[in-house]
Structure 1
């Protein structure tokens, strides 16, 4: 129906009977489609079915349409290269005197090189750090194949191919900076005659052109860094951080897949002392030894000498997460911070956790104190929703957030990141613990997504993991409050009867935006949160 409708308006179809011309055109186009998606044998069957004159007339009409003509050229190249069907049946686009002046010539198949550019990955990101290449110059790729992994100031993102073709050039080294909109790689794809998009720069070249003319100057170096091995991105990250070539690691997984244990074992092997250790004396020889010398003299060993070498200053540009932290903390200085501190007796919580750990472990969840703190925070925010808000200082609007997306500050190899647990208000303590475990694993592997790092409504930092007691946390815009908890310590305290007892004490430090949060509100919120932690049974009453 589409071709018949086009025939009524196309001037090229008015030279002969409309129905015959349309029939020829449809027949020939259908034949080309068969050649494209099947082998030569199927095309031969079609030749025996369709009269030769119909094919020739259809080809004559097809020459008026550039896009379809290029499609036909590619189809005929496939047919002539595989089974020479056209020669066997003496039919081709060049048949007939009327087609000789505009015949198709099957020679070198034209290719085009597409400049694959880094698209906008959202969140206002303008540049990324290239963490790892998954391809090398000369590799063949298909659509949705992984090209590389990049690190923005918010998350790691895997870039996938939009084309089927061959890599001819890499534009960036590992740890290099790539701007959004700049070219990542050049990919050689088949030229089907379609016009290239504005975002991709295309250069035609013959199939037989030397690949060295388009490869990057550093392709030889890149090939040494890019190892085609079976493994996970997390394992690749561990190998990259320790400067390990994955091709040197023996995989113990299925089909030679390299597991995390393989890389750890290889690192331990490299770190083992190279000097041979003294072998233990045989028991018979030990009996012939004289009386043992004093222990001090026997155990005496030369102390290692620390050589202090003078080093030169070096300049390291801020990249990725560290650059984002510098920008964010600088913006936070414009917020008038109000600080509030208190101590919490978490003795009952310390006694409760060992009772719940076996239950959590039976479900594959590692239960720490943080899930209790996060859930108690969410329950307290129901009473004080103004603290779970975003403040727009330009419009002077306070947006009270309905969901509790609690951000947890984490120290990772890449720097400080703050992923968040989504919808804490509707999750159990065990579900919160499972989410925290997942975020910690992704954070250590550098695999946190943008969804994990965005949308935070309230932040809690645990400085106790590194031994801290007090802190002065900095509010991250546009949030209005942040808390930091210290290490739980066993300290002497007096009970209500003034008896000296042992207590597990945890310090908490709050920072609030004093433009919208007053001291009394901050104090009441902290006291309510403190009650839930000091008496966990009270928190259970409020759980939904």
Structure 2
């Protein structure tokens, strides 16, 4: 019997350290070569770390949330026979977007390994009274939204951990209702639970990035009302006549098209700014990030070269990238490289929002909810119109107020006269 000391592998792209998100093994577990044992986070992606040898785990180094340098010994494994040389036991990595929500993006909290489907749930011992249920932040959030007491949900994961499949099985069996039943006053009983949650992974990255942006960027906000009555008529017509293989059109693809047409006249708004080196990088290409709420937290999939796509192609990319982000399958390339960002809260978008810049970008456009409101027409008559507000924010070091206003006015012109989008 000998000891193999497994080091944090080099995950590429010049990464020198990574944050531990979640261990999938514990001391005493038997492991096999290529087994997924650890999730770590680099930038906006999670890297699955596989085991290098067959053996038994004798020691783990590092807790979730800790930053570990590449080359640090992180797992000690008892192996039969001689310890293999490091070049004989290479680590393989697979980059993926974090799973399990927070998004994230909560940030991109820890990703829980999905259990393999089974024919029937295994028997699970009852959890001792008062013992805190083990579950990821995503599962806890889901339970809170569904008004489910996690203490009543059997867990089939390691150490009784409650998985998403456990939640599905619990709800399907009627447990959701039984958890809330039990007497006429049970539903109105005061809630006394308190949950402490360590902020790690994507949520920590989001927190750090937003704090840095607010501290260091003097921004300017500009809000304008857009009359989208004609655009909505066109959108409805196109959706009725679209092919089956084309994605359904929402407002966002038209906004992306409008920005792609308007930005060449305000090139400094489609740029990255390095404040430390006083370097502005302006892009001809429009790589439009579209912020998306996912089970892992806020994530920003990127529609690359939006200026070269038609409205249905943009809608298709938006659907594909959004699904990948929500399923935790978006790649690092699909989540990076944006030159300008759109953020929308959909139907709950409110009247005005104050989006925070996605540094090093210098522009972000927020979409608020659409409403039918009375407005005066050219003849002075009050008529119902469909309107929404765009809440934009710009880095005032780079984009002057006049230029910010002119960009949004050009976008307004395209959206209020949608035929011009196709000219």
When normalised by structure 1's length, the TM-score is 0.58
1:350-429 aligned within 5 A: 350-358=232-240, 360=242, 362-363=244-245, 365-429=247-311
1:330 and 2:211 correspond: yes
Deviations 1:504-540 (A, max 9, x none): 1010111111212112211111111111111211000
Bigger strand fraction: 2
Shift of 1:188: 5.7
Q: Which has the higher contact order (CA 8 A, sep 6+)?
A: 2
What residue is the counterpart of 1:439 in the other structure? 321
What residue is the counterpart of 2:359 in the other structure? 477
Moved more, 147-156 or 236-245: 236-245
Distance 1:133 1:247, change over 3 A: closer
Contact 1:463 1:485 in 2 (8 A): yes
1:128 and 2:19 correspond: yes
SS at match of 2:415: helix
What residue is the counterpart of 1:157 in the other structure? 47
Bigger helix fraction: 1
What residue is the counterpart of 1:119 in the other structure? 10
Contact 1:125 1:152 in 2 (8 A): no
Greater C-alpha Rg: 1
Q: How far apart are the structure 2 equivalents of 1:160 and 1:338?
A: 46
What residue is the counterpart of 1:524 in the other structure? 406
Contact 1:118 1:179 in 2 (8 A): no
Shift of 1:156: 2.6
Contact 2:3 2:76 in 1 (8 A): no
SS at match of 1:483: strand
Structure 1 vs Structure 2 CA RMSD: 3.9
Shift of 1:334: 1.6
SS at match of 1:455: coil
1:138 and 2:27 correspond: no
Distance 1:273 1:424, change over 3 A: same
1:179 to 61, 68, 79: 68
What residue is the counterpart of 1:349 in the other structure? 231
SS at match of 2:385: strand
Contact 1:141 1:167 in 2 (8 A): no
What residue is the counterpart of 2:116 in the other structure? 229
1:1-80 aligned within 5 A: none
1:269 and 2:269 correspond: no
Unaligned runs of 5+ in 1: 1-109, 201-224, 249-259, 278-300
Shift of 1:489: 0.7
1:453 and 2:344 correspond: no
Unaligned runs of 5+ in 2: 91-111, 119-135, 144-152, 159-163
Contact 2:3 2:83 in 1 (8 A): no
SS at match of 2:216: coil
1:318 and 2:207 correspond: no
Q: How far apart are the structure 1 equivalents of 2:240 and 2:56?
A: 52
Shift of 1:486: 0.2
Distance 1:328 1:340, change over 3 A: same
Distance 1:111 1:401, change over 3 A: same
1:276-315 aligned within 5 A: 306-308=188-190
Contact 1:238 1:445 in 2 (8 A): no
Shift of 1:352: 1.8
Deviations 1:222-281 (A, max 9, x none): xxx9786259xxxx9977966875679xxxxxxxxxxx999746533253433999xxxx
Shift of 1:155: 2.3
Contact 1:368 1:433 in 2 (8 A): yes
Contact 2:301 2:336 in 1 (8 A): yes
Q: How far apart are the structure 1 equivalents of 2:394 and 2:313?
A: 28
Shift of 1:309: 5.1
Q: How far apart are the structure 2 equivalents of 1:275 and 1:514?
A: 53
Q: How far apart are the structure 2 equivalents of 1:148 and 1:366?
A: 39
